C-alpha cells in the first residue's frame, strides 16, 4: 500500500489534531542557511522551544567561513538539546597553556588555525537518531542508522547501525549483523525518491530485509 510521505519543503512537518503545525519540530534545511552546514531532506530537530538561530543552537561554535564543514544526511532525527561541537571549538594543546591569546589579538591569529590541529569535518550519516542532549565532539563522523542515547558524549567515529551510550560513548550493541548492515547500505532507501519511499514505508520500517530488497 502506498503511504505518501510528508512534504520535505515544509518548515514544520508535524500537523497537530487541531490543524496547527507543531512549532517545536522543524525540517533543518528549511531553517538553516549557513555556508558551512549541509542538511539532507527530511532531517528534523524537535525541541521544547523555538530558537531564533537553529544553526547556532545545533552547532554553536561553527562560524561562517570556518575551515571545517558540518554535513547531516537525510531522515535524521535530532532531539532537544543535541549539540554538535565542531573543530573550531578546539584550543591549541601542544604548549603549556591552552589559553587562546590569538583570539584576542589579530596580529597572532594567522598561525592559530594550524596550531589548534584537528580540523576534520563533522559528518552525521543518514537515518541517524541523536537523543536528548547528546553531544558530538569535534571531527566525529557518525555512520548511517546509528542511535545515540540521551546525554551521550560521542568522542570518536561510530560505525553504521551501532547503538551507543555513555560518556565517553561506547557501543552498546550493533543493531544488525554485518551482512544485514552491508545489504542495507547497498539498498540505501534514504536515497530513493519520495514516491518510492511512500510505496515502501512498511518495508522500510519493518524487519523483513528480503521485502525491502524486492522493493529496490
- Same domain, yes or no: 83 and 139: yes
Q: What is the pLDDT of residue 4?
A: 74
- Same domain, yes or no: 187 and 170: no
Q: Identify the CA nearest to 136 among candidates 78, 196, 195, 201.
A: 78
- Same domain, yes or no: 211 and 124: no
Q: What is the pLDDT of residue 104?
A: 87
- Same domain, yes or no: 188 and 148: no
Q: What is the pLDDT of residue 112?
A: 64
Q: What is the pLDDT of residue 109?
A: 65
Burial 115-141 (b: 16+ CB within 10 A, else e): ebeebbbbbbbbbbbbbbebbbbbbbb
Which of 175, 191, 208 is the C-terminal boundary of a domain?
A: 175
- Same domain, yes or no: 125 and 213: no
pTM assigned to the model: 0.93
Residue 97 counted as domain residue: no
- Same domain, yes or no: 73 and 166: yes
Q: What is the pLDDT of residue 117?
A: 57
**CATH number, domain with residue 125:** 2.160.10.10
Per residue of the chain (216 residues), give pLDDT as tens: 556 789 999 999 999 999 999 999 999 999 999 999 999 999 999 999 999 999 999 999 999 988 899 999 999 999 999 999 999 898 888 889 988 888 888 777 666 666 665 689 999 999 999 999 999 999 999 999 999 999 999 999 999 999 999 999 999 999 999 999 999 999 999 999 999 999 999 999 999 999 999 999
Q: What is the pLDDT of residue 96?
A: 92
Q: Distances from the Cα of 206 to the Cαs of 66, 124, 187, 201, 203, in angstroms?
A: 41, 23, 14, 8, 5
Q: Please return the burial class of 104, using the count of CB atoms within 10 Å of its CB with bins 0-12, 13-18 and 19+.
A: exposed
- Same domain, yes or no: 136 and 169: yes
Residue 130 counted as domain residue: yes
Q: Which domain holds residue 152?
A: 25-92+119-175
Q: How would you classify the pairing of strands 162-165 and 170-174?
A: antiparallel
- Same domain, yes or no: 154 and 202: no
Query: Annotated active-site positions, please?
Result: 91
Residue 59 counted as domain residue: yes
- Same domain, yes or no: 63 and 143: yes
Cα–Cα dist 8/30, whole Å: 9
Contacts of 6 (CB under 8 A, 6+ apart): 13
Q: What is the pLDDT of residue 106?
A: 76
Residue 58 counted as domain residue: yes
Q: What is the pLDDT of residue 88?
A: 87
Q: What is the pLDDT of residue 102?
A: 82
Q: What is the pLDDT of residue 142?
A: 98
- Same domain, yes or no: 183 and 123: no
Cα–Cα dist 28/57, whole Å: 11
Cell numbers describing residue 91: 584550543
Total number of domains in the chain: 2
- Same domain, yes or no: 77 and 138: yes
Amino acid at each position: 500500500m502506498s503511504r505518501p510521505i510528508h512534504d520535505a519543503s515544509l518548515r514544520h512537518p508535524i500537523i497537530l489534531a487541531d490543524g496547527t503545525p507543531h512549532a517545536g519540530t522543524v525540517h533543518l534545511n528549511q531553517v538553516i542557511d549557513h555556508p558551512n552546514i549541509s542538511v539532507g531532506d527530511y532531517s528534523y530537530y524537535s525541541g521544547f522551544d523555538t530558537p531564533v538561530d537553529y544553526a547556532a543552537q545545533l552547532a554553536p561554535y561553527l562560524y561562517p567561513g570556518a575551515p571545517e564543514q558540518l554535513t547531516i544526511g537525510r531522515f535524521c532525527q535530532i532531539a532537544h538539546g543535541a549539540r554538535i561541537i565542531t573543530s573550531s571549538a578546539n584550543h591549541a594543546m601542544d604548549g603549556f597553556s591552552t589559553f587562546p591569546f590569538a583570539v584576542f589579538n589579530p596580529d597572532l591569529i594567522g598561525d592559530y588555525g594550524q596550531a589548534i590541529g584537528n580540523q576534520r569535518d563533522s559528518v552525521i550519516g543518514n537515518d541517524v537518531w541523536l537523543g536528548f542532549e547528546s553531544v558530538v565532539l569535534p571531527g566525529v563522523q557518525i555512520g548511517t542508522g546509528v542511535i545515540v542515547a540521551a546525554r551521550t558524549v560521542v568522542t570518536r567515529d561510530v560505525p553504521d547501525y551501532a547503538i551507543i551510550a555513555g560518556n565517553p560513548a561506547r557501543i552498546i550493541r550493533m543493531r544488525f549483523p554485518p551482512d544485514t548492515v552491508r545489504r542495507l547500505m547497498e539498498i540505501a532507501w534514504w536515497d530513493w525518491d519520495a514516491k518510492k519511499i511512500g510505496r515502501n514505508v512498511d518495508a522500510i520500517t519493518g524487519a523483513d530485509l528480503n521485502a525491502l530488497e524486492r522493493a529496490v
